Structures are given as C-alpha cells and as structure tokens.
Amino acid sequence: MQQARVAVIGSGLGGMSAAISLRAHGYDVTVFEKNERPGGKLNVMEKDGFTFDLGPSIFTLPEYFEALFARAGKKMEDYLQLQSVTPHWRNFFEDGLVLDLYEEDEKMRRELDKLPGEGEAHWRELQAFLDYARGQYQFVERGYFAKGLDTLWSFLKFYHVDLLTGKNDYRTTMADAIASRLTDPKLRLIFEYFIKYVGSSALKAPGYMNLMPIIQFDKGLWYVKDGMYHLASGLARLMDEMGIRLELGTEIRALTREGKKVTGVEMADGSQEAFDIVVSNMEAIPTYRHLLKEPAKRLQKLEKFAPACSGIVLHLGTDRVFPQLAHHNFFYSEDQHKHFRTVFEKHRIPDDPTLYVVAPTRTDPSKAPEGCDNIKILPHIPPLQDDHEVSHDEYVALKERCLDKMERCGLEGLRESIITEDLLTPVDIERMYRSNQGSIYGVVTDWEKNRGFKAPTRSQFYQNLYFAGGSANPGGGMPMVILSGQNCADRVQRDFPLRS
C-alpha cells in the first residue's frame, strides 16, 4: 500500500487524536511539537513538592477516548485508569450557601432542600430541566458529533425535519432557556456556568448548549488516576507503539505551499520537509496568520471564529488543608450576567468573576505534601485585545480579588497559608501554546457570530490542509477535541484514500 505522508502541527489532544486515527488508517504520520513534552494545554508542573495540572481538570465522556484507543486496536484501561469524582461540583455563594451537585438522586434531593421553598418542587423542576437537556444532547450527538457535521449547510441537510418540528433549541439563549425552567436564582447561576466547558457566555450561546449538564448527570465525571497528564503520556505511549514520529522541541514557523495546496513545513531553524497532507492542531486563525501569512482580506472571512475566553490560572500550594473544598468547586459572582457582559461584550477584566477552583488532593493525595493542599483557581477573562493592553499589575490585582472572594466565602486564612504559587496570564498562554490571543478553549460559542459552529475541519482555502482541536468542529473541551481529531482523520481518508 502506498503511504501518504502527513504532518501534524502540535501534540495537543486534538493533534494526538488525529495522528493516532490517521496512523490506524495507514498513513505515515509525523507530529511536530514546539514544547519539550507532548500534550499541549494538558500540561503539568512540579514545584516545591506539589504537582500542578496546568490545563484541563475535568474528564467527561470516556467513550470518546475509548473509541480512539479502539481505532488502534487497544484498550484505554491498559494505558490509563479513571476514578469517579463525587460530588461533581461544590458551589459557594457570598451569602454562605454551599450546595453540591451529585449524580446520585437521593444526595441531590438533600442538597435541594437547602434552597428556599419546597425541596420537592425544586427536584421536579430539575428533572424537567434535565429531560430538556437530555433531548438537546441526543439531538446534537446523533448528527453533529457522530457524523462529524462540519458546516451550517451539512447541519441543515441532516437535521432539516427536526429543525422544522422544533426539537432543537436554537431560538433562545442558554440563559433564557434556563430561566424559563428553573425558578431558584442560585440554580440558574449553577447551570448557566456549565458554559465554562467551552469558555463562552450563557447570554450569547444558543439554548442547545444546555446539553452540557447531561455529560455529567448521565455519564459521570472522572479523574485520571495519578494525574490528568497521564492521559497525554498514555496517548504518547500509544503513538510510539504505532510508529508515529514525534519531534519534540521543534517549532513550525511556516507552511510551504504551491497554488491551492500546502506542500510541507518549515522549521524554526530554516529546514524544510515535504508532506502530502498537513493537519494543524494549532488554532485556525493563528495558522492562517502566522504560518501562511494570509492577507487581511482573507483573514476577515475568519472573524466569526473569534477566540473563546482566556483566564488567569493561579496554582497555590498551601501549608494546610482546606476541608471546605471538594475536588471541583465554583465561587459565584454576585452578578453573573454582569460578569458575562464584561468579559464577552466589553472585553474587560471583571471586578467580580465566577471562579472555578480545583483541589485534586480530594481524589489524589499525592499531588501535595502531607498536610498541605494543592489549589488551582481559574476566573474567565477576555482574550488579548489589540486595542486594549492589560498590564501584569491588573492580572495580579485580579488574583488578589479572587483570594478575597474565596476567603469571604469561608476559606479563612487562605492567603496566609500559601507557601508556593505560580500564575499564568493570557500572555503566557499565548506564548506557551500559540493559542489565538491567549484563548483557552478555542473558538467562542456565540449564536450571533457563528451559530455555534467552529472552523471547518478542512481548510476553506487549501485542498490538503486540515484542522483538529478546540478551534475546529465540534469545539473545545477534552472529549470534543479528541472527537475532532478522529473526525479530521476520517475526512482525510475520504478526501485522500490510500491506494494499494
């Protein structure tokens, strides 16, 4: 069989998924990674006896990962093991309420009794909302996910009857759909912030994005045993076993091209290598802007694929354990809609953001020395803006507001307990991963901008250039970028089938 040579730029989860899937199809694959370890944003740092997972912290939809290993004729459990996390989330509010989300019905019922009013009425509302969300998930999964639908036209062609009968909630925003089904203000805040999975605004995302709670409530929430980075190292091991060439510490500075085809890659040292097909795990807009130097007129066509939000990522090692925290926690803004508007419409640093806080030692005590805590704090903030430069001092001031908020919500003594810390800003995220304006989650999910679609898997401008990762369909989040790599490989196989 004649093997086509494929270059994959970047070894994030989307790039590794594409490489494994392409190799399973029979292609000769080389992966180029600018950093010294594979994994992209799924990264790890050891500091002063603490082990910090720098990137994704929540593992969901294990079936997508199992399917990737199955393509290579392997079983995921031979490379990594999963541990169930419970409660899913702990939610903190400024008035002192602490409410957990549980997969188990009886535990969730008891939590709802903490809210004003009748607990049974809240339970009935929640079940009705989850039934609605389940319908949205089933609708999106059977086409957009399973078939790899990649454009609005393909979406309309596949779903046209269902759209006419109203099975898909695209007419309302995510927040409006929640408000019409849940009466308690705090439950509304909790379910609005499921949009964190894709770094977008519940005020702008279409209603069908309410599918996200089903990912947890029906399918569970997990942690990778021994640390989230073991997912990246497991995939890297599989790539090595499959004979995929991985070039670490090798930055690609340009794509070579001829007419409507890319012809290969140019490394930072000026050397070049020819390839038949290129898959970019680098986001679509930076690929066109930096690797292909596309003119402004062509880049304007891509403006709808604007970046999702960024964040500051604060890693803390403390000299004591804070038992108030669960593995996953949220500290809510007192005006979450103002937070959304500030970040996604005004593109400014919020005064009072909702915080995502991870304390992985609840599941994995090895991540901190005995008697200490390992805490990651992530507030969503705008990506880098050409017309408004944020100073490092402003990021530090936001960090201090985050610590103030957590102390107000019950973690007294947090600031004085810190014995080591590390702060990543959007500037660092852009530098480390070449993400678009320091975005964490790829392309924003915004009905007005892009109808919720991300960049097409196949380039609009080059016949043999493809994309995998958070900027390509189906979008951000670990299971989606794993799926994007598989869908990308299947598209390559359809377009450029190998011949015996």
DSSP 333-363: -TTHHHHHHHHHTS----SS--EEEE-GGGT
Looking at the fold, whether 174 and 203 belong to one and the same domain comes out as: yes
> Do residue 250 and residue 287 come from a single domain?
yes
Same domain assignment for residues 142 and 111? yes
Report pLDDT for 152.
83
Query: What CATH number should be reported for the domain holding residue 241?
Result: 3.50.50.60
Are 122 and 184 members of one domain?
Answer: yes
- Start-to-end CA distance of the chain, whole Å, equals 4
Residue 145 CA: distances (Å) to CA of 22, 316, 398, 475: 19, 37, 37, 10
Question: Same structural domain for residues 65 and 152?
Answer: no
What are the backbone angles phi and psi of residue 42, rounded to the nearest 5°? -75, 90
Question: Is the CB of residue 11 less than 8 Å from the CB of residue 33?
Answer: yes
Are residues 126 and 186 located together in one domain of the fold? yes
Cis peptide before 474 (omega within 30 of 0): yes
Q: Whole domain around residue 259: which residue ranges? A: 5-46+60-80+229-304+454-495
As given in the structure block, the two tokens for residue 496 are 């450029």
User: Which among 219, 252, 272 is the end of a domain?
Assistant: 219
Q: What's the structural domain count of the chain?
A: 2
The answer for 372, left when phi > 0, alpha when psi is -120 to 50, beta otherwise, is beta
Three-point CA angle 476, 244, 10, nearest 5°: 35
Q: Report the predicted TM-score, pTM, of the whole model to 2 decimal places.
A: 0.96
On whether both 179 and 252 belong to a single domain, the answer is: no
> Is 125 among the domain residues?
yes
Contact present, 21 and 27 (Cβ < 8 Å)? no
**By C-alpha distance, which of 409, 470, 366 is closest to 44?**
366
Yes or no: say if 143 and 159 are a contact pair by the CB < 8 Å rule: yes
Assigned domain for 405 exists: no
Residue spans of beta strands (DSSP E) within 33-93? 44-47, 50-53, 82-84, 89-92
Residues 126 and 215 in one domain: yes
Which of 219, 248, 273 is at the close of a domain? Answer: 219
User: Does 252 fall in a domain?
Assistant: yes
Instruction: Note whether residue 425 is domain-resident.
Output: no
Specify whether 169 is located in the same domain as 242: no
Residues 137 and 206 in one domain: yes
Task: Please indicate, yes or no, if residue 398 is contained in any of the structural domains.
Answer: no
Task: Give the DSSP H or E segment for 459.
Answer: none
Whether the CA torsion 415, 417, 422, 426 is positive or negative: it is negative
Mark the ranges of the chain whose per-residue pLDDT is less than 50: 1
Domain boundary among 191, 219, 247: 219
DSSP run (H or E) holding 29 = strand 28-32
Whether 128 is in a domain gets the answer yes
Q: What pLDDT was estimated at residue 2?
A: 60
What are 455's strand-pairing partners?
472
Three-point CA angle 477, 482, 487, nearest 5°: 120
CA triple 253-488-133, angle to 5 deg: 120
Q: Report phi then psi at 256, rounded to 5.
A: -85, 155
* Residue 324 domain flag: no
Residues 203 and 244 reside in one and the same domain? no
**Domain for residue 436, yes or no?**
no
Task: Decide: 76 and 69 in contact? Cβ < 8 Å.
Answer: yes
202 and 143 within one domain: yes
Give CA–CA dist 70/486, Å, rounded.
Answer: 11
